[in-house]
């Protein structure tokens, strides 16, 4: 399993995804501010991994607090959570994880727990979330593998694999599970401009697993679909609205529209924590705007003329009508998504053992 992030006695270790595929190095964040920087600078990326990273950031910050009273610690916890929440706006897992850690803290305080025990409990909670993520990805793989062809080519956009999670992956986890069951699958990995998550990351980790992978320029997908060379599309998600509209890496919407035109199923694989019932539809999802230099420069070299305006949204929204199914750790959701999503979320909240589609 690829060690995307890891809790260590002296901090949180992150595989530096900005250096892949040519260099496999690790960054050690020794305080919560450094964890925030790691998230903001995309050293770690992918909605599930961002969420667990934020949880570990909260645990790290609280564990290092010098506060001797709960009121003083309350103020520090608020600052820690605000700092981590300000890193990236689109992936709802970030806010979900911070809120979960905050809820755990509030429960401990209400129970008159000592500061020493609060610190230990928050570390345990963050580490438990890490284990939960791996289990959720494997469950997604089990639920989704049968949706993929027994033999054929699957196209994916961006990276929704082990590198975007704590291990195994969401969309790539489904592919891995299918291959483990004996499916003969080749993968087309869109390069995913401008950050090249597909070319750099998806190809790297799939080749690690000996899964045949071909990197495509982002504008090639439609032509290959017309030729019958794509049998399914599977992607991850950074936020899923209550109606099924899904935010994922920029370019996903174009792929989904092309797939619809060519009668190719589009699957979204994401944990239940990626679903945001408070966001009613895709127009309400905040879209992160990133630095123009990601577009104007490649490998440190300027590739666009001075004076050209740059658009660099990190995500786009795919309307639910283009999505065939959403694969979660609790089962597969299908249209009408407003109903199936709410039913599953409610079941997972009240009776987790019954939360299956």
Residues assigned a catalytic role? 238
Task: State the Cα–Cα distance between residues 138 and 177, nearest whole angstrom.
Answer: 8
Task: State the Cα–Cα distance between residues 32 and 12, nearest whole angstrom.
Answer: 9
Which is it for strands 184-190 and 151-156: parallel, antiparallel or unpaired? parallel
Residue 293 CB neighbours (<10 A): 13
Q: Using an 8 Å Cβ cutoff, are 269 and 234 in contact?
A: yes
List Cβ neighbours of 260 (8 Å cut-off, separation of 6 or more): 266, 321, 322
55 conformational bin, left if phi > 0, alpha if psi -120 to 50, beta if neither: alpha
Q: C-alpha angle with apex 51: 47 to 52, nearest 5 degrees?
A: 125
> Hey, what are 16's tokens?
């530096």
Taking Cα atoms as reference points, which of 61, 62, 40 lies closest to residue 50? 40
Task: State the Cα–Cα distance between residues 5 and 53, nearest whole angstrom.
Answer: 8
DSSP 216-281: E-TTSHHHHHHTT---EEEE--SEEETTS-EEEETTHHHHHHHHHHTT--EEEE--GGGEETT--S
């Amino acid at each position: 399993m690829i060690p995307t992030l890891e809790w260590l006695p002296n901090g949180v270790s992150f595989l530096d995804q900005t250096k892949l595929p040519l260099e496999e190095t690790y960054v050690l964040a020794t305080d919560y501010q450094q964890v925030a920087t790691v998230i903001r600078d995309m050293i770690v990326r992918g909605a599930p991994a961002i969420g667990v990273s934020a949880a570990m950031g909260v645990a790290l910050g609280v564990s290092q607090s010098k506060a001797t009273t709960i009121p003083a610690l309350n103020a520090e916890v608020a600052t820690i959570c605000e700092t981590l929440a300000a890193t990236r706006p689109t992936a709802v897992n970030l806010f979900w994880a911070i809120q979960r850690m905050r809820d755990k803290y509030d429960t401990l305080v209400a129970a008159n727990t000592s500061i020493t025990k609060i610190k230990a409990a928050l570390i345990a909670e963050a580490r438990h979330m890490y284990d939960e993520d791996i289990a959720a990805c494997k469950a997604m793989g089990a639920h989704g593998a049968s949706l993929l062809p027994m033999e054929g080519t699957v196209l994916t956009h961006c990276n929704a694999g082990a590198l975007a999670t704590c291990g195994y992956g969401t969309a790539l986890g489904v592919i891995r599970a299918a291959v483990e069951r004996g499916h003969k699958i080749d993968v087309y990995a869109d390069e995913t401009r401008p950050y090249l998550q597909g070319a750099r990351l998806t190809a790297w980790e799939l080749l690690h697993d000996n899964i045949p992978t071909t990197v495509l320029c982002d504008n090639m997908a439609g032509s290959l679909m017309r030729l019958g060379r794509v049998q399914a599309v599977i992607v991850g998600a950074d936020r899923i609205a209550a109606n099924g509209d899904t935010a994922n890496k920029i370019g996903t919407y174009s792929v989904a529209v092309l797939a619809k035109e060519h009668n190719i199923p589009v699957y979204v694989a994401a944990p239940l924590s990626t679903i945001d019932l408070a966001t009613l539809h895709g127009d309400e999802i905040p879209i992160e705007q990133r630095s123009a230099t990601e577009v104007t420069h490649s490998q440190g070299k300027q590739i666009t003329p001075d004076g050209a305006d740059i658009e660099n949204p990190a995500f786009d929204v795919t309307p639910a009508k283009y999505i065939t199914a959403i694969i979660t750790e609790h089962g597969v959701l299908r249209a009408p998504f407003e109903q199936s999503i709410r039913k599953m979320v409610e079941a997972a909240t009240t009776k987790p053992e019954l939360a299956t589609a």
